[in-house]
Amino acid sequence: MEMEGWVSMPKVELHAHLNGSVRDSTLLELARVLGEKGVIVFSDVEHVILKNERSLTEVFRLFDLIHILTTDHKIITRITKEVIEDFASENVVYLELRTTPKKNDSIGMSKRSYLEAVLEGIKAVNTVNVAFRPHNADVSNVKRSSLINDTCNGSTRKKIYVRLLLSIDRRETTEAAMETVKLALEMRDLGVVGIDLSGNPIVGEWMTFFPALKFAREQGLYITLHCGEVPNPKEIRAMLDLLPQRIGHACCFEEEEWKRLKSLNIPVEICLTSNIRTNSVRSIEVHHFADLYNSKHPLVICTDDSGVFSTSVSKEYNLAASAFGRSDFIGACNVLEGGKFQLARNAIEYIFADDEVKRELKEIFNSAELDQ
């Protein structure tokens, strides 16, 4: 299938970090402004932004730079709007966007005000209607259109559901992690559905985040964890014991961990380009996507950081189809099996939303398929 076919297909994106999904053009524009103010030296950061090959360590250095560029509330609102529009423009119909609420006393930013700026950005996508399904509320009176953002892209209006996951950064303390969970609980009615644990995988201890994650789970928030991005069997085991509703990556699993993951049937968010670029997986030929796909383990194709890795959801589907569709290596699989929409459609089952949203998404997929 041509690239255009993947772009026009409806898609679900469940693993996208806000600050990792910013357009290069926006980052360069922000860097230029800070350069003019003398905060940074533009020529020093330009090549860092545009560089393509990055180790895991370099990626986290880049995030530190991006965070300097996106410090301001207004900029957070702007990038949120742009990121949602970019996903909508390639026919992502349901997006779970994740971001780490940040505190920065010098500019009067609290985790709460950061999140409010993100919510502003979501609203800005649709000037008509942005409301979220109130958690556990009777939704019979909520108009269907109020659950969806309308984005205008050229002449076509594209609808996209947006939900938020709040990330805990592995550099954070137990108290900071708990503050994020409490914020998520408070903002449930505004579209926050769950908690993610992310950040540099070689930093921090599981026991630091565990109390906050356990509390989140007890309170009924959905949980997804960056799991096994680097080898750490003890942590992987502890993470799976928490029974998260999904995990991200699962790159450095050994036999025992695969067995446990498969017996628990926990869906895996697969980020092919990210894993290859950061060297978490040696090459696409040995990527665990093939084994998981062939053993019918629940999985969903995602971008991770579409800006940082210059990718898109459509490109990731295209990569999966072309790389694993080849018959010249063991574990080849046909991701077009069951029709070209099937893999993307399967992801609906793993979203952090109720059956009503799932049903509506299935309708969107069905009518798009009929239009083919």
Ligand X SMILES: CNc1ncnc2c1ncn2[C@@H]1O[C@H](COP(=O)(O)O)[C@@H](O)[C@H]1O
**Cβ 194 to ligand X, closest distance in Å?**
14
Q: Is 229 in the active site? A: yes
**Cβ 201 to Zn ion, closest distance in Å?**
10
**Cβ 234 to ligand X, closest distance in Å?**
18
Q: Which stretch binds Zn ion (CB under 5 A): 2-10, 300-308, 329-337, 350-358?
A: 300-308
Quick one: 149 exposed, middle or buried, by C-beta within 10 A (0-12, 13-18, 19+)? Answer: buried
Report the C-alpha gap between 151 and 161 in whole angstroms. 11
Return the bridge partners of 156, or none.
153
Task: Name the packing angle between helices 24-36 and 56-69 (round to 10°).
Answer: 60
Report the C-alpha gap between 247 and 134 in whole angstroms. 25
Binding region for ligand X (CB under 6 A)? 17-20, 59, 63, 99-100, 167, 169, 198-199, 226, 229, 274, 278, 304-305
Q: What angle do CA 159, 162, 166 make, to 5 degrees?
A: 170
Q: Which of 38, 42, 28 is nearest to 70 (CA)?
A: 28
Q: Which of 52, 32, 50 is nearest to 42 (CA)?
A: 32
Given 229, 257, 269, 360, the catalytic residue: 229
Please give the full DSSP string across 159-216, using - where no structure is assigned: EEEEEEEEEEETTS-HHHHHHHHHHHHHTGGGTEEEEEEES-TTSS-HHHHHHHHHHH
By a kind-dependent CB cut-off of 5 to 8 A, residue 229 interacts, out of Zn ion, ligand X, none, with ligand X
Identity of the residue, 40 or 251, whose beta carbon is nearer to Zn ion in the bound complex: 251
**Cβ 345 to ligand X, closest distance in Å?**
26
Cα torsion 207, 209, 212, 213: sign: negative
Q: Which of 3, 159, 8 is nearest to 84 (CA)?
A: 159
**Cβ 199 to ligand X, closest distance in Å?**
4
Identity of the residue, 9 or 301, whose beta carbon is nearer to ligand X in the bound complex: 301
Count the residues of the shown chain that bind Zn ion, applying the rule CB under 5 A. 1
**Cβ 293 to ligand X, closest distance in Å?**
21
Identity of the residue, 151 or 278, whose beta carbon is nearer to ligand X in the bound complex: 278
Residue nearest to Zn ion (CB): 304
Q: Which of 13, 169, 172, 304 binds Zn ion (CB under 5 A)?
A: 304
Asked if 269 touches Zn ion (CB under 5 A), the answer is: no
Return the bridge partners of 358, or none.
none
Identity of the residue, 77 or 167, whose beta carbon is nearer to ligand X in the bound complex: 167
Under DSSP, the state recorded for 30 is H
Identity of the residue, 151 or 274, whose beta carbon is nearer to ligand X in the bound complex: 274
Identity of the residue, 90 or 229, whose beta carbon is nearer to ligand X in the bound complex: 229
Identity of the residue, 19 or 149, whose beta carbon is nearer to ligand X in the bound complex: 19
User: Is residue 93 a contact partner of residue 161, using CB atoms and an 8 Å limit?
Assistant: yes
**Cβ 98 to Zn ion, closest distance in Å?**
8
By a kind-dependent CB cut-off of 5 to 8 A, residue 59 interacts, out of Zn ion, ligand X, none, with ligand X
Q: Which stretch binds Zn ion (CB under 5 A): 26-34, 119-127, 298-306, 320-328?
A: 298-306
By a kind-dependent CB cut-off of 5 to 8 A, residue 167 interacts, out of Zn ion, ligand X, none, with ligand X
Q: Which residues, 6 or more positions from 80, have their beta carbon under 8 angstroms from its beta carbon?
A: 18, 97, 117, 118, 120, 121, 122, 124
Q: Is 104 helix (H, G, I), strand (E, B) or coil?
A: strand
Binding site for Zn ion (CB under 5 A): 304
Q: Which residues are catalytic?
A: 229
